[in-house]
Every structure is written in structure tokens, then in C-alpha cells.
């Protein structure tokens, strides 16, 4: 399946949308997520799109959900047109780390929403032959069954994740998602404020993870076909599948992970395509983003003829460790081409430094490849630094 064979966004989008007005409080948004099976809630001013909200906004510390207005945290995400290709939609979702995007008319009036499953269902032929291990996130963050909900919330917030496998004695026993916290913790609290709770026990932050986790967990093997994992997510209506060997957690594959191959459709002709996503409390400046892209471009220029066609994907998130008010930044770089599938992890006090460290780890893996050693003067390439 090539770019010309792909359907348009207007052919696969859903016209069912959930929206709130910009002046409505976040508690209204929380109730929508608790009652509806949606990935995003649109924020409108009249009929005009202001932005959208995801469940992650409800994890923000010290936010009064009854007083803060929806427009305060509305995300100004990219907007799709009905005649855009699904490959462009996938690329934007991966780069912005979001599971759905609005489709608008010229006057910014939303006419639909396109989600991950809309895209995956439309492009199943392209995913054939791919394995789970090619797209999964390895060694995901986990929590213990006896950890408190307060700790679960803190880990999600600090690690920038919305789902956590629950383990006991190094064995997978359950999973907690951000949606679970909305439905099982925030939901009862909201209903109590409007007098709808009658004798219902409301979970507290001291409640243990095992008391609200989902079990059994939908799982797969690293060697399973990616389409098997996608079908499990669709059939069981879950946002991810935990990857295990025995009962040990070795990875996690999400709907967005499955989009990465689709996001690169049509890019092979130009060599290596770069995708960058940030999970940072404060969005990097345009200068910092340009510096990150230049670091990746420098890497691609040196090794482009060697690594083949595909993608270099960089994911940034904040660590708990801080220097003053500045968080240490973690970068996970993935090289996924027709010749190599390598991962490098790096840390730094700026996105650029973290990116360079992660790319350097991939570079070191490349230099020990026999093929690379035969074709290039490794010492001269290593002498040229970022």
C-alpha cells in the first residue's frame, strides 16, 4: 500500500464528537471522560474550535476542577482537513503524542474527529508482516500491587504516561490506566458534589493499586504480528497491550505505537524521516526545537547512506530529578529502517543534550556492526561530533 492508495481523512473520520464550551469548568470535562468512551474532548467558543483536552490534563497538581475553565488548558493541536491523507494524520498524531485529532472546515468549525483506530482499520494491509517488537516500548515503567493510588498518580505525572502495568513479585498481575483513575476515583468524587452518590465508597489516594486495577491483562508476545496486538486492542476496547515473556513485563505497545509505520508511508523516497514528540510540562522554544532537529539531521547526514530508508523517532519526557526548577530530560531515540532497528536512551538538562546523548548511543551500536565497519572508516566518522 502506497501513499496514492491511502484513503482520505474524510472517509475514515467519526462524526460523533464530544465537546464543551471554553467557559465551562474542568469538572464538566472530567464527567465527559468518565461517562463517554472518547480519547479527546473538543473545546469550543460558540461553533469555533479553540483546542482540545485529553484525560492527562486532569492529573495536573493543585488544579481546582470546579473553578478552572476548560479554555485554560485547551491544547492548540494541528487541525486536519477532510481531504488530508491518513498518512499525514498518523504523522501528526505520533509527533504530537495524541490519539485523536479534529477535522475542521475552512471556518474552523469541527466536522469530525479521526482517531487511531480509524486509521489502523483503514490501513491494515500496510501493517501486515510487522512484529510487535518492532514498535513496542521496551522496559515500561511499572507499579507494585500494594502501591497507593497517590503514588500511581505521581508516577503517571512524572513519567508522562497514561497507563501502568501492575506487578507483584516481578509477575504481571494487572494494569491501571488514566481512564481508570477518572472513572473510579474522580468520577465518584464528582458525583458526590452534585448529590448523586448514595452510600458509595469513594476511593482515596491511599487506596492500593490492586483495589482498582484491571485484571486479567490483555497481553501478547514480542514475536506476535502487530496486527494481532491491534486486533486485541480493538476487540477488548483497550488502549494498549502489555508485552510479556512468561509473566515478566518486557514491553508495552499502544495504539499510537502501532501508528508509527503508517506515519512513515510515502517517506521512503526521501530517505530517513524524523519524528519528534515532547512530554514536557513546558513546551520547548522554537530555537530549542530547531537545535534538536539539527542534531538529528547531523546524524542522518553522516549515516544516511548506511542506515537505509525509514524513520528516526525521538520521544522526550521529564525525570523527577531537578536542578533548581529545571527537570532532567530523558530522550528515547528509535532508528527504524529497512536495515536497522536500534534504540538509544540519553539524558540531559536540555532536549538538545538529551537527544545528542541518545543518538550517540545509536551511533555506537552502528559502529560495531560488521557491515558498517566494512563500508566506512569508523574512526573518521566518530571524529566528527555533533
- Domain range annotation of the chain: 3-122, 132-259, 270-383
List C-alpha distances in Å: 135 to 8, 174, 261, 373. Answer: 24, 22, 8, 27
| SS3 category, 222 | coil
**205: Cβ–Cβ under 8 A, 6 or more apart, which residues?**
148, 149, 150, 153
For the chain, 386 residues long, give each residue's pLDDT as a single digit of tens.
445 567 899 999 999 999 999 999 999 998 898 888 888 999 999 999 999 998 878 777 677 888 999 999 898 888 999 999 888 898 888 777 788 999 999 888 999 999 998 898 888 888 888 899 988 888 888 999 999 998 998 888 777 778 899 999 989 999 998 888 877 876 665 555 544 444 456 667 788 999 989 999 999 999 999 999 999 998 898 889 999 998 899 999 988 888 888 877 654 444 677 888 888 877 788 888 888 988 888 888 777 767 777 788 898 988 767 766 778 899 999 888 777 788 888 999 899 999 999 998 888 777 665 444 444 343 343 344 33
pLDDT recorded at residue 63:
78
CATH of the domain spanning 3-122: 3.10.580.10
Is the CATH number of domain 270-383 3.30.160.100? Answer: yes
What is the pTM (predicted TM-score) of this model? Answer: 0.62
Domain 132-259, architecture per CATH: Roll (3.10)
pLDDT recorded at residue 153:
86
pLDDT recorded at residue 257:
85
- Smallest Cα–Cα separation from 115: which of 22, 59, 21, 41? 41
pLDDT recorded at residue 201:
62
List C-alpha distances in Å: 42 to 48, 81, 175, 207, 262. Answer: 10, 16, 28, 32, 25
Domains 132-259 and 270-383 share a fold: no
The dihedral through the CA atoms of 311, 272, 302, 297 has a sign that is negative
pLDDT recorded at residue 328:
87
Amino acid at each position: 500500500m502506497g501513499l496514492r492508495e491511502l484513503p482520505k481523512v474524510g472517509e475514515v473520520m467519526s462524526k460523533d464528537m464530544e465537546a464543551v464550551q471554553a467557559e465551562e469548568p474542568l469538572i464538566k470535562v472530567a464527567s465527559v471522560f468518565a461517562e463517554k468512551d472518547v480519547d479527546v474532548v473538543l473545546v469550543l467558543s460558540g461553533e469555533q474550535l479553540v483546542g482540545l483536552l485529553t484525560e492527562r490534563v486532569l492529573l495536573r497538581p493543585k488544579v481546582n476542577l470546579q473553578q478552572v475553565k476548560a479554555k485554560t488548558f485547551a491544547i492548540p493541536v494541528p487541525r486536519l482537513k477532510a481531504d488530508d491523507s491518513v498518512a499525514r494524520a498518523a504523522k501528526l498524531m505520533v509527533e504530537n503524542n495524541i490519539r485523536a485529532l479534529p477535522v475542521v472546515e475552512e471556518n474552523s468549525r469541527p466536522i469530525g474527529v479521526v482517531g487511531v483506530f480509524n486509521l489502523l482499520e483503514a490501513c491494515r494491509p500496510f501493517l501486515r508482516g510487522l512484529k510487535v517488537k518492532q514498535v513496542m516500548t521496551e522496559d515500561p515503567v511499572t507499579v507494585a500491587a500494594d502501591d497507593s493510588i497517590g503514588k500511581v498518580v505521581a508516577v503517571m505525572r512524572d513519567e508522562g504516561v497514561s497507563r501502568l502495568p501492575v506487578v507483584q513479585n516481578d509477575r504481571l498481575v494487572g494494569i491501571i490506566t488514566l481512564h481508570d483513575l477518572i472513572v473510579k476515583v474522580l468520577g465518584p468524587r464528582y458525583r458526590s458534589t452534585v448529590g448523586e452518590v448514595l452510600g458509595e465508597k469513594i476511593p482515596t489516594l491511599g487506596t492500593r493499586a490492586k483495589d482498582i486495577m484491571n485484571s486479567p491483562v490483555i497481553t501478547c508476545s514480542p514475536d506476535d504480528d502487530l496486527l494481532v496486538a491491534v486486533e486485541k486492542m480493538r476487540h477488548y476496547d483497550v488502549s494498549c497491550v502489555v508485552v510479556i515473556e512468561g509473566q515478566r513485563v518486557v514491553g508495552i505497545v499502544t495504539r499510537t505505537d502501532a501508528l508509527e509505520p503508517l506515519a512513515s508511508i510515502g517517506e521512503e523516497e526521501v530517505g530517513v524521516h524524523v519524528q519528534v514528540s515532547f512530554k514536557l510540562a513546558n513546551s520547548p522554544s522554537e530555537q530549542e526545537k530547531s537545535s534538536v532537529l539539527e542534531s538529528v539531521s547531523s546524524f542522518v547526514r553522516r549515516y544516511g547512506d548506511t542506515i537505509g530508508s525509514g524513520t528516526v523517532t525521538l520521544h522526550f519526557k521529564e525525570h523527577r530529578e531537578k536542578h533548581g526548577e529545571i527537570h532532567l530530560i530523558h530522550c528515547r531515540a528509535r532508528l527504524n529502517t529497512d536495515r536497522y532497528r536500534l534504540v538509544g536512551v540519553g539524558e540531559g538538562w536540555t532536549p538538545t543534550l538529551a537527544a545528542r546523548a541518545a543518538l550517540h548511543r545509536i551511533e555506537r551500536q552502528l559502529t560495531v556492526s560488521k557491515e558498517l565497519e566494512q563500508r566506512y572508516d569508523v574512526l573518521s566518522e566518530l571524529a566528527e561530533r555533533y
